[in-house]
Amino acid sequence: MFKNAILRKPAPNFASGLTTVSQGKPDFAKVIKQYQAYCDALERCGVTIKVLEADPGHPDSTFVEDTAVLTKKTAILARPGAESRQGEVRGIRAPLAKFFHYFAEINAPGTVDGGDICEADNHFLIGLSQRTNEEGAKQLAEILDCDGYTSSLVDIRKTTSILHLKSGVAYLGENQLVVIEEMAGWKEFAGYDLLVVGKDESYAANCIRVNDHVLMPAGYPVLQSLLERRGHSVMPLAMSEFQKMDGGLSCLSLRF
CATH classification at residue 80: 3.75.10.10
pLDDT at 62: 98
> Among this protein's residues, is 232 annotated catalytic?
no
**Full domain range(s) for residue 159:** 4-255
pLDDT at 95: 98
The Cα 216–Cα 223 span in angstroms is 9
pLDDT at 20: 93
pLDDT at 51: 98
Amino acid at 184: A
Asked if residue 109 has a cis previous peptide bond (ω within 30° of 0), the answer is yes
pLDDT-flagged residues of the chain (< 70): none
Contact criterion met (CB below 8 Å) for 6 and 93: no
Q: Which one is catalytic: 45, 118, 207, 251?
A: 251
The Cα 180–Cα 185 span in angstroms is 10
Rounded to 5°, the CA angle 183-60-9 comes to: 115
In b/e form, how buried is each residue of 229-250, taking b as 16+ CB within 10 angstroms? eeebebbbbebbbbbbbbbbbb
pLDDT at 74: 98
Contact criterion met (CB below 8 Å) for 112 and 65: no
Q: Which one is catalytic: 45, 58, 164, 232?
A: 164
Closest listed residue to residue 78, CA positions, set 150, 253, 87:
87
pLDDT at 80: 98
Contact criterion met (CB below 8 Å) for 145 and 122: no
pLDDT at 146: 97
pLDDT at 9: 98
235-253 tens-digit pLDDT: 999 999 999 999 999 999 9
The Cα 178–Cα 161 span in angstroms is 16
pLDDT at 226: 98
> Among this protein's residues, is 164 annotated catalytic?
yes
The Cα 236–Cα 215 span in angstroms is 6
Contact criterion met (CB below 8 Å) for 55 and 91: yes
Query: How many domains is the chain built from?
Result: 1
pLDDT at 27: 98
Closest listed residue to residue 164, CA positions, set 15, 36, 18:
18
DSSP-based three-state secondary structure for 153 = strand
For residue 102, what are the β-bridge partners? 74
The Cα 241–Cα 228 span in angstroms is 25
The H-or-E segment that residue 124 falls in is strand 123-128
The Cα 167–Cα 205 span in angstroms is 7
